[in-house]
């Protein structure tokens, strides 16, 4: 597959007289080579929608903190499992609920950088029976319990057709210095699809269902701050009372979930502005329909923002009319809002997402990627092939985002994430 480096940007925000800051930002673009594999644009285009639901026991409130870092188009969190502990990393995914890691004995496992977890070597591991509340909380179509089996088994598939199957159990998980016992998780020994060593050892579901980590810890409140791709830096994931923002943060309410998708974090997106032009998008474009389709979700496990038509078509039309560059073919990298770029300073139109009660004004590095070798500049937004739109993690870089399930709001503010 053709590969395009995601470049870092050196920005000069001193506005020239010919570049009004209300419509755009004049930037100097510089190529900074990265040694990390996740900076390839073909990883960014793998917007893997994690469409699942689930449930579990809720513990008394536990406050924990751990670290996040970018890898393979996702953001991975650091944690440890078992007694004695085995440290590993896993994708933090607000679009699903199941916590799982690869386990011994493994029938089909992807390469990972840490040893495989072996439940037989942990004194705190236990399987869950098919009639356990945690097992019954799995979506019925994922449970594969059948006589004479007594352990809760599952076959869990994501929206990009990646899948994992194994046995549901409980184990002690450690986050920094805090150990949490009897966390329900999947011990997976058969994994298939878009997983590799940049995926860590599995996924930590952070969705709204009861099997997610945030639900099992009991507080229903967490925040994350995602560093820039290519920075090779870490930033915090905070769960519980430690998750706070400043008084300057903006907030937007969650939209009630349809019964068919109870795990997603739906938001009300009222419009999009490119430059100084609010796009002529019909009011119903980002609304949910009576049958539960449509809407927009925010998802840390999807790399690139995906917009349904006509919103995407209007976004493309606006950038093509406002960029002082010739349109170019970026289809080899999965993008079609691309321009011929020769390394010169360019004026990039502002991109603002107007959520209910809050405007997210993105910096250019959160929606523009450049490759001087291929002479391309591309807008990192794609057309959704689903019935809904997704606000991905690339657009959330250096944004401190707080999920308050009890309060029913998502709050955010710009931040230098590696300095929190």
H helices within 120-211, ranges in order?
Answer: 133-137
Mean pLDDT of all residues in 30-49 = 35
Q: How many CB atoms lie within 10 A of CB 14?
A: 8
pLDDT value at residue 31: 29
What's the confidence (pLDDT) of residue 23?
A: 54
Q: What is the pLDDT of residue 395?
A: 98
Cα–Cα dist 193/161, whole Å: 7
Of 49-63, 286-300, 359-373, minimum mean pLDDT range: 49-63
Which residues neighbour 328 within 8 Å (Cβ) at sequence distance 6 or greater?
338, 339, 340, 341, 375, 376
Bond preceding residue 105 cis, omega within 30 of 0: yes
User: What is the C-alpha end-to-end distance of the chain, expressed in Å?
Assistant: 37
pLDDT greater at residue 122 or residue 2: 122
Question: Residue 92 is inside which H or E element, if any?
Answer: strand 86-93
Given 93, 97, 371, 404, the catalytic residue: 93
pLDDT tens per residue, range 375-407: 999 999 999 999 999 999 999 999 999 999 999
**Which secondary structure element, helix H or strand E, spans residue 179, and what is its range?**
strand 178-192
DSSP line for 352-404: EEEETTEEEEE-GGGTEEEETTTTEEEESEEE-SSSSEEE-SGGGBTEEEEEE
**Residue 59 binned pLDDT confidence (cut-offs 50, 70, 90):** low
Catalytic residue at 299?
yes
CA distance 59 to 320: 51
Q: How large is the average pLDDT for residues 161-167? A: 93
User: Which residue in 229, 218, 209, 226 sits closest to 53, CA to CA?
Assistant: 209
Q: What is the pLDDT of residue 199?
A: 82
Residue with tokens 């399987």: 127
CB 35 within 8 A of CB 71: no
DSSP code of residue 287: P
- Check residues 48 and 387 and name the one with the higher pLDDT: 387
Q: Mean pLDDT over residues 156-166, rounded?
A: 89
- Residues contacting residue 148 through CB under 8 Å, at least 6 positions apart: none
Q: State how far the Cα of 203 lies from the Cα of 99, in Å rounded to an integer.
A: 6
Can you give the pLDDT at residue 413?
98
Q: Is the pLDDT of residue 205 over 60?
A: yes
Q: What is the mean pLDDT of residues 352-373?
A: 96
Band of residue 295 on the pLDDT scale cut at 50, 70, 90: very high
Find the angle CA(397)-CA(193)-CA(139) to the nearest 5 degrees. Answer: 85
Asked if 230 contacts 52 with a C-beta cutoff of 8 angstroms, the reply is no
Banded pLDDT at 24 (limits 50, 70, 90): low
Residue 420: predicted pLDDT: 92
pLDDT at 216: 95
CA neighbor of 75 nearest in space, from 209, 191, 231:
231
CA distance 235 to 244: 15
196 part of the active site:
no
Contact predicate 38/60, CB 8 Å: no
Is it true that the peptide bond before 310 is cis, omega within 30 degrees of 0?
Answer: yes
- Segment 90-116, tens digit of pLDDT: 999 999 999 999 999 999 999 999 999
Average pLDDT for the chain = 86
pLDDT at 373: 86
pLDDT at 48 over 60: no
Helix, strand or coil, per DSSP, at residue 197: helix
Instruction: Using pLDDT thresholds of 50, 70 and 90, give the confidence band for residue 74.
Output: very high
What pLDDT, in 10s, does the model give residues 249-269?
999 999 999 988 999 999 999
Out of 165, 231, 299, 404, pick the active-site residue.
Answer: 299
Percentage of the chain beyond pLDDT 70 is 85
Residue pair 304/229 in contact (Cβ under 8 Å)? The answer is: no
Q: What is the rounded distance in angstroms from the CA atom of residue 269 to the CA atom of residue 287?
A: 8
């Amino acid at each position: 597959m053709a590969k395009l480096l995601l470049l870092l940007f050196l920005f000069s925000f001193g506005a020239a007289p010919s570049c009004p800051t209300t419509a755009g930002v004049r930037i100097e673009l510089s190529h900074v080579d990265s040694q990390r594999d996740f900076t390839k644009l073909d990883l960014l285009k793998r917007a893997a929608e994690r469409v699942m639901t689930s449930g579990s026991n809720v513990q008394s409130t536990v406050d924990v903190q751990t670290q996040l870092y970018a890898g393979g188009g996702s953001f991975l969190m650091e944690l440890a499992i078992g007694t004695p502990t085995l440290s590993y990393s896993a994708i933090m995914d607000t679009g699903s609920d199941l916590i799982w890691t690869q386990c011994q004995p493994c029938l089909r496992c992807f390469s990972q950088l840490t040893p495989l977890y072996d439940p037989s070597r942990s004194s705190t591991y236990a399987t869950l029976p098919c009639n356990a509340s945690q097992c019954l909380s799995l979506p019925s179509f994922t449970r594969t319990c059948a006589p004479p089996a007594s352990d809760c088994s599952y076959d869990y598939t994501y929206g990009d057709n990646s899948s994992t199957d194994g046995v549901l159990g409980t184990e002690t998980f450690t986050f920094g210095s805090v150990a949490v016992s009897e966390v329900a998780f999947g011990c997976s020994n058969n994994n298939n699809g878009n997983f590799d060593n940049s995926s860590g050892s599995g996924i930590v579901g952070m969705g709204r269902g009861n099997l997610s980590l945030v639900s099992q810890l009991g507080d229903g409140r967490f925040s994350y701050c995602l560093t820039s791709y290519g920075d090779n830096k870490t930033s915090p994931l905070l769960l519980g009372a430690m998750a706070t923002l400043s008084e300057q943060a903006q907030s937007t309410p969650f939209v009630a979930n349809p019964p068919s998708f109870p795990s997603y974090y739906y938001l009300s997106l009222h419009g999009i502005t490119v430059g100084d032009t609010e796009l002529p998008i019909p009011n119903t474009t980002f609304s949910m329909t009576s049958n539960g389709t449509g809407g927009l979700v925010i998802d840390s496990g999807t790399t690139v923002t995906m917009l349904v038509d006509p919103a995407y078509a209007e976004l493309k039309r606006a950038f093509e009319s406002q960029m002082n560059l010739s349109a170019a073919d970026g289809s080899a990298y999965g993008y079609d809002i691309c321009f011929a770029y020769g390394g010169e300073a360019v004026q990039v139109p502002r991109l603002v997402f107007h959520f209910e009660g809050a405007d997210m004004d993105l910096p250019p590095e959160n929606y523009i990627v450049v490759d001087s070798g291929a002479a391309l500049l591309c807008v990192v937004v794609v057309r959704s092939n689903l019935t809904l739109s997704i606000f991905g993690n690339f657009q959330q870089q250096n944004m401190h985002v707080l999920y308050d399930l009890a309060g029913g709001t998502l709050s955010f503010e710009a931040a230098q994430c590696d300095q929190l």
